[in-house]
Structure 1
Amino acid sequence: MTAIAGDLRGSSSASNPSEEPTEPTEATEPGQATLPEDSHYDADVIVVGAGPSGSAAAYWMATAGLDVLLLEKTSFPREKVCGDGLTPRGTRALVEMGIDVSEAAGWLHNKGLRVIGGGLRLELDWPQLASFPDYGLVRPRADLDHLLVRQAVKAGARLHEQTSVTAPVLSRQGRVVGVQAKAGPDGAVRSYRAPVVLACDGVSGRFALALGLQRNDRRPMGVAVRRYYTSPRTNDDYLESWLELWDGPPGADHAKLLPGYGWIFGMGDGSVNVGLGVLNSSAGFQKTNYRTLLTTWLDNTPEEWGLREENALCPTQGAGLPMGFNRTPHYRDGVLLVGDSSGSVNPFNGEGIPYAMESGKFAAEAVVQALARPQGPGRERALAGYPAAMAQEWGAYYRLGGAFVKLIGNPAVMRACTRHGLPHPKLMRFVLKLLANLSDPHDGDASDRIITALTRLTPPLR
Structure 2
Amino acid sequence: MKTEADVIVVGAGPGGAAAARYLANEGFDVIGLEKSRFPREKVCGDGLTPRAVKEIQLIGLETPREEGWIPNYGLRMVGGGHRLEFPWHELESFPNYGLSLPRAQFDHRLAEHARAAGADVREGWHVDALLIRDAQGEFVVDSDSAERAAAVRPGGEARVVGVVARQTDEKGRKVGEPTEFRAPLVISADGVSARLALGLGLERKVNRPMGVAVRTYMETPRHAEEWMEGHVEIWSGERGNSDMLPGYGWIFPLGDGTANVGLGTLSAKGTPSGLDHRGLMKGWLEHSAKDWDFGDQIGGIKGAAIPMAFNRQPHYVPGMMLVGDSGGMVNPFNGEGIAYAMQAARRATEAAVAAREAGSDDAAREQALAAYARMMKDDLGGYYSLGRVFASLIEHPTVMSICVKYGLPRPLIMEFVSRLLADVYEPRGGAWSDKLLSAMVRVAPAA
Q: Does 1:241 align with 2:203?
A: no
Q: Does 1:449 align with 2:435?
A: yes
Deviation at 1:256, TM superposition (A): 5.6
Deviation at 1:187, TM superposition (A): 3.2
Tell me how far apart the structure 2 counterparts of residues 299 and 378 of structure 1 sit (CA, whole Å). Answer: 60
Deviation at 1:371, TM superposition (A): 2.6
Deviation at 1:303, TM superposition (A): 4.9
Deviation at 1:260, TM superposition (A): 2.7
5 Å-filtered alignment, 1:32-431, equals 42-173=4-135, 174-185=158-169, 186-246=175-235, 254=241, 257-281=244-268, 285-301=272-288, 303=290, 305-307=292-294, 311-372=296-357, 373-374=359-360, 376-431=362-417
> TM-score, length-normalised on structure 2?
0.90
Provide the secondary structure at the position in 2 that maps to 1:447: helix
After TM superposition, the structure 1 stretch with the greater mean CA deviation from structure 2, 273-282 or 298-307, is: 298-307
Deviation at 1:286, TM superposition (A): 2.1
Tell me how far apart the structure 2 counterparts of residues 403 and 322 of structure 1 sit (CA, whole Å). Answer: 16
Describe the superposition over 1:407-450 as per-residue Cα deviations: whole angstroms up to 9, x where unpaired: 01112111111221212212211111111111222241221111
8 Å contact from structure 1 (residues 248, 300) kept in 2? no
8 Å contact from structure 2 (residues 7, 31) kept in 1? yes
8 Å contact from structure 1 (residues 109, 136) kept in 2? yes
AA of the residue aligned to 1:417: C
Provide the secondary structure at the position in 1 that maps to 2:298: coil
Equivalent residue number for residue 24 of structure 1:
none
AA of the residue aligned to 1:367: A
Quickly say closer, same or farther: Cα 1:246–1:160, change in 2 above 3 A: same
Percentage identity across aligned positions?
Answer: 47
Provide the secondary structure at the position in 2 that maps to 1:234: coil
AA of the residue aligned to 1:274: V
Provide the secondary structure at the position in 2 that maps to 1:209: helix
Deviation at 1:60, TM superposition (A): 0.7
Provide the secondary structure at the position in 2 that maps to 1:313: strand
Tell me how far apart the structure 2 counterparts of residues 284 and 300 of structure 1 sit (CA, whole Å). Answer: 28
AA of the residue aligned to 2:434: D
Deviation at 1:138, TM superposition (A): 0.4
Quickly say closer, same or farther: Cα 1:459–1:107, change in 2 above 3 A: same
4+ residue runs of structure 1 moved beyond 4 angstroms? 247-250, 253-256, 282-285
Quickly say closer, same or farther: Cα 1:414–1:255, change in 2 above 3 A: closer
AA of the residue aligned to 1:456: R
8 Å contact from structure 1 (residues 245, 258) kept in 2? yes
AA of the residue aligned to 2:232: L
Structure number having the greater strand percentage: 2
Deviation at 1:102, TM superposition (A): 2.7
Aligned-residue CA RMSD in angstroms?
A: 1.9
Tell me how far apart the structure 2 counterparts of residues 302 and 421 of structure 1 sit (CA, whole Å). Answer: 21
AA of the residue aligned to 2:167: A
Describe the superposition over 1:212-235 as per-residue Cα deviations: whole angstroms up to 9, x where unpaired: 111112111111010111122312
Deviation at 1:282, TM superposition (A): 8.7
AA of the residue aligned to 2:44: C
Tell me how far apart the structure 1 counterparts of residues 197 and 231 of structure 2 sit (CA, whole Å). Answer: 34
Quickly say closer, same or farther: Cα 1:155–1:456, change in 2 above 3 A: same
8 Å contact from structure 2 (residues 209, 270) kept in 1? no
After TM superposition, the structure 1 stretch with the greater mean CA deviation from structure 2, 138-147 or 452-461, is: 452-461
Deviation at 1:297, TM superposition (A): 1.1
Deviation at 1:399, TM superposition (A): 0.6
AA of the residue aligned to 1:305: W
Deviation at 1:249, TM superposition (A): 8.0
> TM-score, length-normalised on structure 1?
0.87
**Unmatched runs of 5 consecutive residues or more in structure 1:** 1-39
AA of the residue aligned to 1:413: V
AA of the residue aligned to 1:229: M
After TM superposition, the structure 1 stretch with the greater mean CA deviation from structure 2, 366-375 or 282-291, is: 282-291
Equivalent residue number for residue 3 of structure 1:
none
AA of the residue aligned to 1:289: D
AA of the residue aligned to 1:146: H
Deviation at 1:319, TM superposition (A): 0.9
State how many pairs are aligned: 418
8 Å contact from structure 1 (residues 301, 307) kept in 2? no
8 Å contact from structure 1 (residues 41, 195) kept in 2? no
Provide the secondary structure at the position in 2 that maps to 1:314: strand
AA of the residue aligned to 1:384: A
Describe the superposition over 1:244-276 as per-residue Cα deviations: whole angstroms up to 9, x where unpaired: 0247885xx557635531111111111111111
Tell me how far apart the structure 2 counterparts of residues 328 and 370 of structure 1 sit (CA, whole Å). Answer: 21
Tell me how far apart the structure 1 counterparts of residues 276 and 237 of structure 2 sit (CA, whole Å). Answer: 17
Quickly say closer, same or farther: Cα 1:231–1:288, change in 2 above 3 A: same
8 Å contact from structure 2 (residues 55, 339) kept in 1? yes
Tell me how far apart the structure 2 counterparts of residues 439 and 306 of structure 1 sit (CA, whole Å). Answer: 34
After TM superposition, the structure 1 stretch with the greater mean CA deviation from structure 2, 434-443 or 195-204, is: 434-443
Provide the secondary structure at the position in 2 that maps to 1:371: helix
Tell me how far apart the structure 1 counterparts of residues 327 and 167 of structure 2 sit (CA, whole Å). Answer: 25
8 Å contact from structure 1 (residues 282, 409) kept in 2? no
